[in-house]
């Protein structure tokens, strides 16, 4: 499945399915003003049972498939699967979409949502992780590819704090 990246369409499906989530990763950094480029949408999702049902419905409506897995690998997209796992990387009709229950450097959805900010996007109100949380996640991931993004996020946070 090769599709154009359309994060707004994915967010719309999540909202339409009453899914509780916080946007994290590159798209969240962009919302805060980072010049970073991203090719996927990352969310931290609420792992409560009712929300898993909402997320499963959203993912199914986006024709979600495990990204990078061979076609013949069995995968059942349901609440039980999401409950038993934590982090999932999907290819969807809206592009690459990653769902994390407890991102590195956080305690999960409740932790992130308590410090998140809402931003309007095309008639929706979407929650985005705080800059401090984005920085903590990048630090905890400790991947070499994140070093530049970490510096950008820290500079952005410093600039926002100077303006305040």
- What CATH number matches the domain at 7-157, 3.10.20.880, 3.30.460.40, 3.40.50.300, 2.40.50.100? 3.30.460.40
The pLDDT tens digits of the residues spanning 48-106 come to 999 999 999 999 999 999 998 888 888 899 999 999 999 999 999 999 999 999 999 99
pLDDT > 70? residue 1: no
Q: What is the DSSP string of 48-106?
A: SHHHHHHHHHHHHHTT-EETTS-TTS----SHHHHHH-SEEEEEETTEEEEEESS-TTS
pLDDT of residue 106: 96
pLDDT > 80? residue 157: yes
pTM of the model: 0.92
Q: Is 114 exposed, middle or buried (0-12, 13-18, 19+ CB in 10 A)?
A: exposed
pLDDT of residue 69: 86
């Amino acid at each position: 499945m090769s599709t154009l990246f359309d994060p707004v369409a994915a967010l719309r499906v999540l909202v339409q399915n009453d899914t509780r989530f916080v946007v994290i990763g590159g798209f969240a950094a962009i919302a805060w003003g980072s010049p970073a480029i991203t090719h996927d949408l990352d969310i931290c999702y609420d792992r409560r049972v009712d929300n898993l049902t909402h997320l499963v419905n959203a993912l199914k409506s986006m024709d979600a498939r495990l990204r990078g897995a061979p076609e013949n690998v069995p995968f059942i997209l349901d609440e039980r699967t999401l409950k038993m796992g934590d982090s999932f990387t999907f290819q969807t009709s809206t592009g690459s979409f990653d769902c994390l229950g407890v991102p590195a450097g956080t305690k999960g959805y409740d932790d992130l949502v308590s410090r998140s900010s809402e931003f309007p996007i095309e008639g929706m109100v979407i929650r985005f992780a705080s800059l401090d949380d984005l920085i903590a996640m990048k630090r905890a991931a400790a991947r070499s590819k994140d070093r530049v993004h970490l510096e950008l996020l820290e500079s952005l946070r410093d600039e926002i704090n100077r303006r305040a």
